Amino acid sequence: MLDDMLDYAEQLRERPVWQPIPPQIKAGFHESLPQHGKELSALHQRFMQEIVPYSIGNAHPGFMGWVQGGGTPVGMVADMLAAGLNANVGGREQIPIAVERQILDWMRELFRFPDTANGVFVTGTSLANFIAVVIARTKALGAQVRKQGVPEKRLTAYTSVGAHSCVSKAMDLAGFGTDALRLIPMNEQYQIDLNRLAEQIRDDRAAGYQPFLIVGTAGSVDVGSIDDLSALAALAQSEQCWFHIDGAYGALGMMSDQIAPRLTGIERADSIAFDFHKWGQVPYDAGYILVRDGDNQLATFSTPTNYLVRETRGMAAGSPWPCDLGPDLSRGFRALKTWFTIATFGAKKLGEIMANTCDLAQYLMRCITEEPKLELLAPVNLNIVCFRYVGDTRLKNMTAEQANALNNELVIRLQESGLVAPSSTMIGERFAIRVAIVNHRSAQIDMDNLMQSTLRIGDELFASPN
Ligand SMILES: *Cc1c(COP(=O)(O)O)cnc(C)c1O
């Protein structure tokens, strides 16, 4: 199995990124509960033949969809070790927790957070953002909110319309409802409009609301923009709001000398949510929430019970435990693959990989702007490029709907080609081919393949009578 997966990593380029799933393979995963076991080798074979070829392919250098990391063989074997150990890292006196705290130390250092900062691994930034909203809730209403619930619909939070939808979901889950999240328009740089934000806070206060939380974005999901984090920090301070940053993929850009200056202000956040499984190249899943004042995190999540009693000696020592810092009790050893990845490659190398994905995005942007049949749809801030095929306007013009339909079909055909796999988004009213370069394996050849395939398929669709 190990050999097969190392071969897989080595031979990725010879495989399709993704391919349509034959119906009989999907149907094969509707068996009834097995009463008796099968040979492991038969299952291994099935894994290689029926699961590997029909996964989404984010390890492949030609994968450019959504925002997904590629992982590394180092992370893979580290995860194998973690599974072999089968550590439950919810608490108790064990070195796996010291490994997780080692990552905390590194993150304090990276983001210049004080020693009072705490943090915890979670599945991903969706959950990390939720945890931040809940901590901000406790901060605003006091610990009694944990007993009494959110009293009345008075508290309001603020983020940009370009923020990830999980911020809105977090407001829903935390009991505020999504209406309590004010979605502020963006400026031409796709950053939150600071004047509109200040206005909205003023209006809300006048109407009797209590602003409690501002969520900035470091690397937006649509176009990779970074809000003015210093200005948001100052505003949050003067408005006495919790300042949280969704830095899902962007925050770890602090490891790059090229990217870090653009994240100025991140060190002033009350909390930062980010993923090691995106730009950090750690295999799925490895999200993290870092909180400046760890006492707020403890006050929100620690829950004394008899069966989880703490000691100063024996196996129940080592308090506070990770289960005091988030909703999870039982949890796996995500810290191990993260520790192995950072320790094997070093922060500098990981930062260079991130900067290289930004350089590839700049290269692709230049190719697009030099090609009259393509149109760039948003500024390229980091590693995300949004563009569309517009065709040869000397031959014919397309209506807005035709252009959107053509580009929608184009993205699907690119994905079905197996060579390159972007995803899509809407930039205003325009359907965009969206490329996010996250994987350390992606190279200039993949950008060239994307250009060639886009033009070839675009020309075919442009020429067809429909
Ligand atoms: C990916 C992403 C998320 C969601 O993170 P998950 O790890 O998928 O839960 C949130 N915000 C931004 C900006 C993202 O890119």
pLDDT digits (tens, 9 = 90+) for 214-230: 999 999 999 999 999 99
Lookup result for tokens 């024996």:
314
Integer Cα distance of 231 and 187 in angstroms: 14
Burial of 409 (0-12, 13-18, 19+ CB in 10 A): middle
Task: State if residue 247 touches ligand 1 by the CB under 6 angstroms criterion.
Answer: no
| Model confidence, pTM | 0.97
Evaluate whether 419 touches 16 at the Cβ level (below 8 Å): yes
Mode of pairing for the β-strands spanning 155-160 and 181-184: parallel
Euclidean distance between CA atoms 129 and 142, whole angstroms? 19
CA-127 nearest atom, ligand 1: 9
Average of pLDDT values for 452-459?
98
pLDDT tens digit sequence for 35-51: 999 999 999 999 999 99
In this prediction, residue 74 carries a pLDDT of: 98
Question: Is there a contact between 389 and 411 (Cβ–Cβ < 8 Å)?
Answer: no
Alpha-carbon gap, residue 463 to 307, rounded angstroms = 70
- The per-residue pLDDT for 394 is 87
3-state DSSP assignment of residue 97: helix
Q: Which of the four pLDDT bands, split at 50, 70 and 90, describes residue 238?
A: very high
- Judged by DSSP in three states, 388 sits in strand
Question: Which protein residue has the closest C-alpha to ligand 1 atom 14?
Answer: 248
**pLDDT score, position 251:** 98
User: What are the φ/ψ torsions at residue 147 (nearest 5 degrees)?
Assistant: -90, -45
Q: Using alpha carbons only, how large is the chain's radius of gyration in Å?
A: 24
Say whether pLDDT at 152 is over 90. no
Phi, psi for residue 211 in degrees, rounded to 5 = -60, 130
pLDDT-above-70 percentage for the chain:
100
CB 390 within 8 A of CB 375: yes
Query: Is the pLDDT assigned to residue 123 strictly greater than 80?
Result: yes
Cα–Cα distance measured from residue 376 to residue 378, given in angstroms and rounded to the nearest whole number: 6
| Residue 102 alpha carbon to ligand 1 centre in Å | 24
Least confident range of 62-76, 235-249, 302-316, 385-399: 302-316
Q: Cα–Cα distance between 168 and 130 in angstroms, integer?
A: 9
List pLDDT tens digits, range 329-381: 999 999 999 999 999 999 999 999 999 999 999 999 999 999 999 999 999 99
Structure tokens at 305: 């019970």
What band does 306 get if pLDDT is binned at 50, 70 and 90?
A: confident
Atom of ligand 1 nearest to the CA of 217: 13
Any atom of ligand 1 within 6 Å of the Cβ of 246 = yes
Predicted confidence band of residue 130 (pLDDT cuts 50, 70, 90): very high
Does residue 252's CB lie within 6 angstroms of at least one atom of ligand 1? no
Q: What pLDDT was estimated at residue 465?
A: 65
C-beta of 164 in contact with ligand 1 (< 6 A): yes
Asked whether the predicted pLDDT for residue 153 surpasses 80, the reply is no
When the pLDDT of each residue in the chain is averaged and rounded to a whole number, the result is: 97
Quote the pLDDT of residue 466.
57
pLDDT digits (tens, 9 = 90+) for 77-108: 999 999 999 999 999 999 999 999 999 999 99
Sheet containing 421-427: order of strands: 63-64, 421-427, 430-436, 384-389, 374-376
- Long-range pairs for 368-373: beta carbons < 8 A, 24 or more residues apart: 368/451, 371/451, 371/455, 373/455, 373/458, 373/459
Give the tokens for residue 112.
């210049």
Q: What is d(CA 135, CA 45) in angstroms, rounded to the nearest whole number?
A: 46
Nearest atom, ligand 1, residue 219 CA: 13
Phi (first) and psi of residue 131, to 5 degrees: -60, -40
- Provide mean pLDDT across the span 378-398: 94
- Residue 286, ligand 1, Cβ within 6 A: no
Token look-up 């090229």 returns: 258
